[in-house]
Structure 1
Amino acid sequence: MWQKMWRAAGALPGFTPVARRLVNVDRWLGRVTGGRVVALGMAPSLLLTTTGRRSGLPRSNPLQFVRDGDDLIVIASNWGGEKDPAWSWNLRADPAARVTLDGRDIAVTAAETEGADRDRLWKLIVDQWPGYENYKLRAPHRQLRIFRLKRS
């Protein structure tokens, strides 16, 4: 029931500003629960740790994901913002990353998707979280990047 309400709320115009403010709480929650609770437990989520392309330091971000077979799929929506999120630039610079999911730390390698595969994954993502359609409308000047995370 909560997930249905959360999905419906995600399509409301005022959702994004509120949700953006919760990212630090979400990041903390993911860290203290060992990745067992992310996105306040309302959507399938993981904690992605990339290497900062400028700093070289680990950078962790809570993200929703969908499964595609054994792979984890994440989208660089940045809430429909002007620019791609920093984590996506980090993955492009160094595709080796770590995912914390259900209390497990998993080494992954990222690949940006394209073409028919990207189109198919977009449908999977939007089926799970319809709010991504709003993010796409807010960012018409850029294509929201979709990454496939494969276990290393």
Structure 2
Amino acid sequence: MLFGDEHVRKYRETGGEVGHDWQGVSTLLLTTTGRRSGRERTTPLIYRRDGADHVIVASAGGQPGHPAWYHNLSTDPEVTVQVKDDRFPARARTATEEEKARLWPRMAEVWPDYDEYQTKTDRPIPVVILERRD
């Protein structure tokens, strides 16, 4: 998570004018459905475009386990994404090994800490592709 609930609130209030650009990177809001609670959960995440898709990384800062949002979308891949003032439904999926081999360096170019995070954990950090579903 970047700066949490405050980031989400300001992003939504301003249509991304505050919050989309964060520490030199672009962020989106990912809303998943809690796998246990059934409640919507929104997380600000660094992203990069790949054609029509948006790409995010389930790094959790290199923690041993996947972030909660990744577990949520693994249970229910139908998510909502907000990029600036554009809010849309999407289907989330974990990149294949071939896709990850291509996308990981592109994501690490945007946020070099991803490479460091991978050295901190034994789990393979997933790359997630968000496919717009309008």
- TM-score (norm: length of structure 2): 0.90
Identity of aligned residues (%): 34
- Structure with bigger helix share is 1
Aligned to 1:143: 124
- Structure with bigger strand share is 2
1:92 aligns with 2:74: yes
SS class of match (1:44): strand
**1:15-26 paired onto structure 2 within 5 Å:** 22-26=3-7
Asked if the contact 1:107/1:151 (under 8 Å) is kept, the reply is yes
What displacement does 1:30 show? 1.8
1:102 aligns with 2:84: yes
**1:1-152 paired onto structure 2 within 5 Å:** 22-38=3-19, 41-42=22-23, 43-139=25-121, 141-152=122-133
Unaligned runs of 5+ in 1: 1-19
Q: In angstroms, what is the RMSD of aligned CA positions? A: 1.6
What displacement does 1:39 show? 5.9
Cα deviation per residue 1:86-142 (whole Å; 9 max; x = unaligned)? 000111101000011111111100111121111111011011111111111111x10
Specify whether residues 24 and 138 from structure 1 end up closer, same or farther in structure 2 by C-alpha distance, changes over 3 A only.
farther
Specify whether residues 21 and 96 from structure 1 end up closer, same or farther in structure 2 by C-alpha distance, changes over 3 A only.
closer
Specify whether residues 86 and 126 from structure 1 end up closer, same or farther in structure 2 by C-alpha distance, changes over 3 A only.
same
- TM-score (norm: length of structure 1): 0.80
Asked if the contact 1:35/1:47 (under 8 Å) is kept, the reply is no
Cα deviation per residue 1:70-99 (whole Å; 9 max; x = unaligned)? 100010001111210000011110100001
Q: Distance in 2 between matches of 1:130 and 1:21?
A: 15
Cα deviation per residue 1:13-65 (whole Å; 9 max; x = unaligned)? xxxxxxx6733332232232233432663311100000111111100000000
Asked if the contact 2:28/2:83 (under 8 Å) is kept, the reply is yes
